[in-house]
Structure formats: structure tokens, C-alpha cells
Amino acid sequence: MARVFITGSTDGLGRAAAASLLRDGHEVIVHARSARRVPAVQHLLDRGAQLATGDLSIEEEVRQIAAEAGGIGGIDAVIHNAGVLDGPALLPVNVVAPYLLTALIPGPRRLIYLSSGMHRGGDTGLEGLDWAGRTTTASYSTTKLQVTALSAAVARLVPSVASNAVDPGWVPTRMGGRSAPDSLELGHRTQEWLATSDDPAALASGGYWYHQRRKTPHPAVKDPQFQDALLARLAAHTGVTLDALG
């Protein structure tokens, strides 16, 4: 049995993963952006899930989420599921929050970051980006390229942690839209497998996955220079490094 923390659990893939993991006998910590969103996961709380609340677009609240989740303790895996599709919150939610939670939540030996096939269209430039989200300075594709590179950087720098990125496919969620062609069920299975399975493939690190198959990501994802430059920008913005991992 594992204890898994899932960001963005009030709908879509995050809520589906939480429900599935609970059904399989695992312990789950769900996340809601605010108290107003808690009713969306009340049925999971009634089944034994625990809760962390906070807005991932606000750095102070991300730190509070890390403290809440860390206070529960015993976290085996984190699924960085939360994401936004557009607007000024793209960098804070899709990149800064996963970075901070990675640095600040103690203990997990498995980290899963939600990517997208759209990451291949991302921009590798790091100049002029507003990490605080006051203005929109990056596309969705760019943030997904960055978070996929973050996953690969953790895998390279912290060998004691199994760090992987997952493309869940274009699935019919609120973000993906009703006409999305991929399977919602398959869209969350890989994350659950990476978070809990004893399969040697799931215990490996540094993968970019689609429906439990390794795929080849954008070349920048595996580029140590790009990874290090990205980590340096995130450390400079947050004042937090990944040194404590491992």
C-alpha cells in the first residue's frame, strides 16, 4: 500500500486517479484549490482520503500545501497533475508549483509530472519569463516542455528518486473538451502505475511515458544544459533549490 499525493484532484484526471487508487487500497491525499472546491472531492474524503488546500498560482499557498502534505507525512509518491491551459497562471501553476513541491515535500521516492504531447512545440528560451504570473509570457506547450525537463533533471540529479513524466493523451476532461479522442481511463492509469507498481519498469527513472510505453520527448528535455538553466531560473525566483532531495 502506498500513500500518494495528487495535485489538482477536484476534477478530471486527478480525481479519477484518486478514486482509482483508493479503490485499490492505497492512501490518497487530494488537493483542492480552495475550500469552495472541497465538495468536489467530499466523496473521496468520505472514503478515507486526506486533504491539502491551496492555490497553486500563489507561491505562499504552494508552500502551505507542501507544509500540509508534509505534515500528514509518509508520502510515497506525488503526482503533479494540476495544470492550466492558458493565462498568466501558466508558469506559476504548470512549472513553479511542481518545482516548489518537489523541493519542499519530504520523503517521496516516486515523482510523476503531467506533461503533454504539445511539449514538443515548446520554446526553449528562458529570457524574459514572468515566473510570478503577473503577465502571460509562456505558452502551454512551453510550460509542458519545462516541466518535462524538470522531471528529467530530478531523475539525473537525484538517483534515489524515480522521476518520470507522463503524456496522458488528449482526453475528454474539462481542459481537453468533450470531443477529445483519447481514453479518459487510460489517461490516468500510467500515473497510478508509476506511483505504486513494483514492476521494474515503473521503478525506473527518467522516462517520458504515454499509456505505459516510453516515448521520445523533445531533445531539450534530456539536455543537461537546458535542465540546469531551467533549475537556476526557478531557484533564483523561489529562493529554493533541490539540494535537500535524496
- The stretches of the chain forming alpha helices (DSSP H) are 12-23, 42-45, 59-72, 90-91, 97-104, 140-157, 184-196, 200-203, 224-238
- Among candidate residues 144, 208, 215, 222, the one labeled active-site is 144
C-alpha 185: how far from chain center: 18
Phi and psi, residue 5, nearest 5°: -100, 130
Please say if 215 is a catalytic residue.
Answer: no
On whether the CB atoms of residues 233 and 126 are closer than 8 A, the answer is yes
**By three-state DSSP, how is residue 56 classified?**
coil
Query: Residue 243, exposed/middle/buried by CB under 10 A (0-12, 13-18, 19+)?
Result: exposed
144 has catalytic annotation: yes
**The one catalytic residue among 99, 113, 140, 208:** 140
What CA–CA distance (Å, rounded) separates 75 from 3? 5
Residues with a catalytic annotation lie at 140, 144
